[in-house]
Amino acid sequence: MEKGFYYRVYELVAKIPFGKVTTYGSIAKAIGLRSSARLVGNACRAAAGTNSLPFHRVVNRSGELTGKHSFPDANYMRQALEAEGVKFIGEHVDMDNFFWDAEI
C-alpha cells in the first residue's frame, strides 16, 4: 500500500536533526513532488502543535518562520529553534549554517 502524502511529509519532518531546519520545498522535492511546497506547508499546518514532530524546524526557502502562526504562541518557533542552537540573521534563520537537505 502506498503511503499518503501527509504521511510521507511527516516521516521526513521526524528526521530533521536537532539544531537544523529544512524547507517546505526541500521536503516536497525529497518526496518527488518538486512543486508542492505549499502542500507540504498545509500538511505541517494540519498537525503542528498536535503531536511531537518537530514542525518548528520547517521554514520557507529564505529561512522565514512562515509557519509560526500554526502554533499556540507566535514566538514558539523562534524560541524552540534558538533553544536548539539555531542562529538567526534578523528575522531569518542562518540558512548557510543550519539548513538540512531533506533529500539526503
* Each residue's pLDDT tens digit, 64-78: 999 888 888 889 999
Residue 7 C-alpha cell reads as: 504521511
**What pTM was computed for the model?**
0.92
Please tell me the CATH code under which domain 5-98 is placed.
1.10.10.10
What percentage of residues in the chain have a pLDDT greater than 70?
Answer: 96
Q: Is the pLDDT of residue 1 over 50?
A: no
Query: What residue ranges do the domains of the chain occupy?
Result: 5-98
Paired strand residues for 22: 58
Distance CA 60, CA 42 (A): 13
Q: Any residues with CB less than 8 A from the CB of 62 and at least 6 apart, and which?
A: 92, 95
Residue 99 C-alpha cell reads as: 539548513
CA distances from 75 to 2, 30, 81, 91 (A): 36, 28, 10, 12
